[in-house]
Amino acid sequence: MKLLIKFILLYGLLFASAYAENTPPSAEKAATKSPAQQMDRDSVCTRCHDENDKTPVLTIYQTPHGNKADSRTPSCQGCHGESEKHISSKTNSPDVIFGIKKGAYSASDAKDQNTACLTCHEKDQNRTHWQGGAHQVADIACTSCHQSHAAHDKVRDKRTQPDVCFTCHTDQKAQVRKFSHHPIGEGKVACSDCHNPHGSAGPKLLKKNTVTETCYTCHAEKRGPYLWEHQPVTEDCATCHTPHGSNITPLLKSRPPFLCDECHDGPHASISPVAGNAAGMQGGLSPTLPSESFTGRACMNCHSMVHGSNDPAGALLQR
């Protein structure tokens, strides 16, 4: 029994030591202070940065970052550093300045800004792949997208999130305004429904490991498995579709039969500049005698089950 008690005590000491080593100093300080003590620390800053400040600093108390009932909530110093030189003389800048430029002070490096945020937020599983991700490599700061002091953070609202993303992704901004598009502008779909801006193991910061897995999140009826599969469907939906917008419904990259002819240089390919043996030619032999059965028609008139078929007679995706 004594041996068991010693083992428990030793295990407890080791656990406490490991926690102390892996807990960031600012987070550790925040966890040991009561809400009243946190407010006392904030008062060092808010005696100058009040409602008359050019930046609405006090609106942070309308956000989760200002909820002092939560022991995880940091004080001003938890994010901006102790900033002792700034407190003693306003000519000195705070230790960490977020954003692009704050008055007479230049913003801190993106790495320093993000380090302050990740002190708490790196524990979130959605940020597992932040290090080495496209936004981290491009030196994008958290505050380039997020507004921590604002009561309404635009990037966390499905209706306003695309406007934040389109600040940099201008090509996608143009695409979602095309005739056929996902309802992003309508506020029904947001960029983060498909992408994880904080990093991903998949391509293009997709939330899933592949394009098809991401598409199946909504389009489960296309998932299969099918008795007769259409190979590009199982490989990559983007072979035929463009995800952000197209002038050809439904989000197609090209019009049939030209889209189909990019892969199917088959026995009856249409008069397509892409295909060498044009379907629609009688017997596929004469380039001057287009067949009335195929000219000007889409392949889906016959091969309607383009995503796959479970019919025993559907080997050609006709039923």
Give domain limits for the chain.
23-119+130-144, 155-215
Q: Which amino acid is at 47?
A: R
Q: What is the pLDDT of residue 80?
A: 93
Partnered with residue 32 across adjacent β-strands are none
**Local confidence band at 283 (pLDDT 50, 70, 90 cut-offs):** very low
How much is the pLDDT for 112? Answer: 94
* Local confidence band at 15 (pLDDT 50, 70, 90 cut-offs): very low
The span from the CA of 167 to the CA of 145, in Å, is: 9
Q: What is the mean pLDDT of the chain?
A: 82
pLDDT at 29 over 60: no
Residue 237 CA, chain-centre distance (Å), reads 19
pLDDT > 80? residue 89: yes
Among 9, 5, 14, 75, CA closest to 41: 75
How far apart CA 51 and CA 58 sit, in angstroms, is 7
pLDDT-based confidence at residue 296 (cuts at 50, 70, 90): low
The fraction of the chain above a pLDDT of 90, given in percent, is 53
Give yes or no for residue 269 having a pLDDT over 50: no
CA distance 221 to 237: 13
pLDDT of residue 294: 56
Residue 284 predicted with pLDDT over 80:
no
Taking the model in full, what pTM does it have? Answer: 0.77
Amino acid at 19: Y
Q: Is the pLDDT of residue 37 over 80?
A: no
Per-residue model confidence (pLDDT) at position 291: 55
> 186 Cβ partners below 8 Å, 6+ apart?
none
Q: Which two structure tokens, joined as six digits, stand for 166?
A: 């389109």
What is residue 23's predicted lDDT score, i.e. its pLDDT?
A: 40
Tens of pLDDT, residue by residue over 132-168, are 999 999 999 999 999 989 989 999 999 999 999 999 9
